[in-house]
Structure 1
Amino acid sequence: MPVYLDHAATTPLAAEALAALTRELSRTGNPSSLHGSGRRARRAVEDAREALAAAAGAHPSEVIFTSGGTEADNLAVKGLYWARRAEDPRRTRILCSTVEHHAVLDTVEWLERHEGADVRWLPVDAEGVLDLAALEAELAEDPASIALATVMWANNEVGSIQPVADVVRLAHAAGVPVHSDAVQAFGSVPVDFRGTGLDAMSISGHKIGGPVGVGALLLGRAVKLTPVQHGGGQERDVRSGTLDTASIAAFAAAAEAVTGKLAGESARISALRDRLIEGVRAAVPEAVLRGAPGAGRLPGNAHFTFPGCEADSLLFLLDLAGVESSTGSACTAGVPRPSHVLLAMGLDEDTARGAQRFTLGHASTDADVDALLAALPAAYARARQAGMAGHESSIQTAGTVARHTATG
């Protein structure tokens, strides 16, 4: 079995989620139907809504089910922008951090290209943490023209946790609503929608041990949102579409399981992460840890740059050794590109190309860390030998170079 160190991409299905999923898949009923089977499915959905609300610090009526984090981000950012601009045509400015997930980043850029949005990019420091002074400056500049601010709870690449409560405090003082992509944070650190005062927050099932294809937008009861899609008027008439009862029940079961043991698991995974970090530093002294230190980063995240090698080559070599990781970088049309997150943190392109992200989760063990530390020195040496040849190559070419180096 391969050693899986890519929990930030997706994490194994939890036993509780699998039990809920199979139970509901064996039953029939559209939760919008009025007969007995429909009412039973509706009860399952509403029980799940209550469980998710409790896990995320929200009221059940604030939980809007979606197909995942990407849809929740699109719904929040587009919906808030359109609703706010409809109330006041001057509201075209969007404040967005430079390190957002592409589900937010690309949505904001789409609004800029097609809907007249004036995007103001909020910088981060060398650890990937938002510059609050820059946010204050933007808020002070004609706050009546701002449609919304969107800042993620924790970064999916380098794991840095953002000062979300401070963002909300500053934005609300200027009358600006705030959305946060909490897909990476939910289930890893304490997340309290009501406590932070957020107007909208995105979460996803498959990051916490639930199935792929289900997520939720937590939306304040007084927040106005223009729907992205139309149909049967489900979910407060904000997100139409027949609800996936089985996936929703499994999502809620995973959320209950992970938040019920959050403190203990966070401490266990943090200890594994710290041992991994120290081990990587000992095995490859040239490697540089990226992101905020200690409690400022997600418990399961260890992100390094390895100088002198192409990230995809190192990834393939580790994969051949039975260790699955991630470069954490965007990839368009098969061409490796340096991470926009690392570039926003001030790294040059050559340094950013050496990124490797190791992420731990509920299934991770000491043996996983041992396997990585055993495989890494040889994999890195071979990746360095291959060098930065992947600059002008496709992922397939980088993989071929890595495999040739490994066997040669």
Structure 2
Amino acid sequence: MEKPYDYLIVGAGLFGAVCAHELRKSGHKCLVIDKRMHAGGNLYCENVNGIQVHKYGAHIFHTNDLAIWNYVNQLVPFRHYNHSVMANYKGKLFNLPFNMNTFYQLWQLKTPEEVIGRIAEQRTAAKITDPANLEEQAISMVGADMYHTLIKGYTEKQWGRFAKELPASIIKRLPLRFTYDNSYFSDRYQGIPAGGYNKLIDALLADVEVRLNIDYLDNKDAWQEMAETIIFTGPIDAWFNYCYGRLEYRSLSFEQEILPVSNFQGCAVMNYTDSEVPYTRIIEHKHFEGGQQPFSVITYEYPQAMARNAEPYYPVNDSRNNNLYTKYKQAAAQQANVIFGGRLAEYKYYDMDQIIGSALSKMKKLKAGLSNLQV
């Protein structure tokens, strides 16, 4: 019996939306389902009286890949946005990412030579030659003073464990430069879709059938009869009913306020780096698009443990979890007519351009008739 769709795409986030867009262009009939009440995954924005509120945390599109930049800009116009973050440590403000402004604010040092020398002194004092964990890696990168002021409290709140228990690889993504440049990202192309990320998702899913408030895993067998091929973007361990155990994530919760002020903190993101403050950052959404409204919308972001009904945000890529994921990945390779992709199915922290690149790569392999799409 012929199935009604060529592809069933489980998840209407960025990965699933790009796949649906590419398959529709190729003439395939697709159905996209999502367990949430909206499409877009964590990119979803809520319009609050003209301010686009990033409901699941701040998202800034940045890439050095001109092809991907052109890909999204042909779908929606992007507004240039240069991300610059401030950090609040017990009432004192510092520029992020770590740059010469930050080092001057902490040490009153003015030249890169002075700063590099101070970091080397503190690395030597800590007797670090081969960093074995996040704390040692951070001290070797920016020194003990900067670590204790801007990294330790924030990181331990974010991950719910001591920095000495976290892998060094986590901190290696942190931008570090010895210039007076407060730009958080150094990528050539940066911006935010004019009018919010819903515009981008709507453009990708135009002319594609989408059904919301549907949990695929609640009726997996029935949904598999709907299409010849499944593209699954949910948690890979959930697909296999956690047969090897649960992959570990950290989650987030949010508290939103509408304030009767036109400008609350002067920037889109303010990190709170001391351990006494329970939230990790405050987001003031109007700054993403230069809003001039006489009021403002802010969001407090709280890290939390991964409860059963919470949303998974950050994979805990330590050796235990990575070994567990390898087992699931090997099992996924044996699944016929199923493509796994996206941050949850690949247990990987992805930037948006990387998600798009991964989806386009898999669709290219699919069109070429390659059998192994799981890599």
TM-score if structure 2 supplies the norm length?
Answer: 0.29
The answer to which structure has the higher strand fraction is 2
